[in-house]
Amino acid sequence: MVNNEVIRYAPFERLSRSPMYFDIETTLRSRIVWMIGYMTDGEMIQLYANDYDEEKRILSEFCAILKKHSEHVLVTWSSFDTRVLYERLRLHGLTGSSNLVYSMAHMDLRLDLRKSFIFPTRGYGLKRIGSYLKYPFRNPDLDGLHVALEYERRVLSGEPLHRRFFEYNEDDVMALPYILDWAEKTECERCTCEVYDELR
């Protein structure tokens, strides 16, 4: 923390297959998935539910996309996205699609970073790690709670969702390849297991 340095104490495993990065936005308590942002082969796409009734539509669309990229590795910041996606698919009776989600290879990037690196940050949230690595978040004042509340307010009012909330999701997706690229390329001069043993 004092030196503002990253310490690598274990090798970081590189991806051996093409990645598909994705991030979901939900209402409070993860009741409804209303946005799915994903990036594959350099293309960023967002599926948006204009109201609660459109959740099943965007879930079905995303799973059709997953079937076309079943050999890819799903990359998320935590297991939250795959877990909630799985639960919502099953709730809608889309059992075959929910099984597809868990049958695909998955990288929990946050967990893999914690296995290999100590960051001089207070926690391993996406915004903390991404900001430390200089990812240019466009709306650093927003968080998941704020975004969920704004969507619910928009549904009740009928007003269009402001562009910055789409940008929030875009950044959560695009920060993933940015951080993964850093992790795969980083060569830390102090990356010995002995350093970690001393810290423990």
pLDDT, tens digit, 9 for 90 and up, residues 92-102: 999 888 999 98
pLDDT at residue 189 greater than cutoff 60 = no
What is the domain extent for residue 134? 7-199
* 1 within domain boundaries: no
Non-local (6+) Cβ contacts of 189 within 8 A are: none
Instruction: Report if residue 193 sits inside a domain.
Output: yes
C-alpha dist (Å) from residue 143 to 51, 89, 108, 150, 179: 21, 25, 20, 11, 19
| CATH classification of the domain holding 164 | 3.30.420.10
pLDDT at 148 over 90: yes
Q: Which residue type does 200 have?
A: R
- Cα–Cα distance for residue pair 186/6, rounded to 1 Å: 10
Would you say residue 193 has pLDDT above 80?
no
Residue 186 has phi, psi (to 5 degrees) of -65, 135
- Structure letter (DSSP) for residue 36: E
Three-class SS state of 85: helix
Distance CA 145, CA 183 (A): 28
Domain count, the chain: 1
Q: How far is CA 18 from CA 4, 28, 41, 73, 80, in A?
A: 32, 32, 8, 6, 21
Asked if residue 172 belongs to a domain, the reply is yes
| φ, ψ dihedrals at 159, nearest 5° | -80, 150
Distance CA(123)–CA(96), nearest Å, equals: 36
Residue closest to 161 by CA, chosen among 51, 61, 56: 51
Token pair of 169 as six digits: 């999701």
**22 within some domain:** yes
In a domain, 34, yes or no: yes
Predicted confidence at residue 30, as pLDDT, reads: 86
Burial of 33 (0-12, 13-18, 19+ CB in 10 A): buried
pLDDT at 88 over 90: yes
What is the amino acid identity at position 41? D
Backbone dihedral angles phi then psi of residue 37, each to the nearest 5 degrees: -105, 135
Q: What is the pLDDT of residue 159?
A: 93
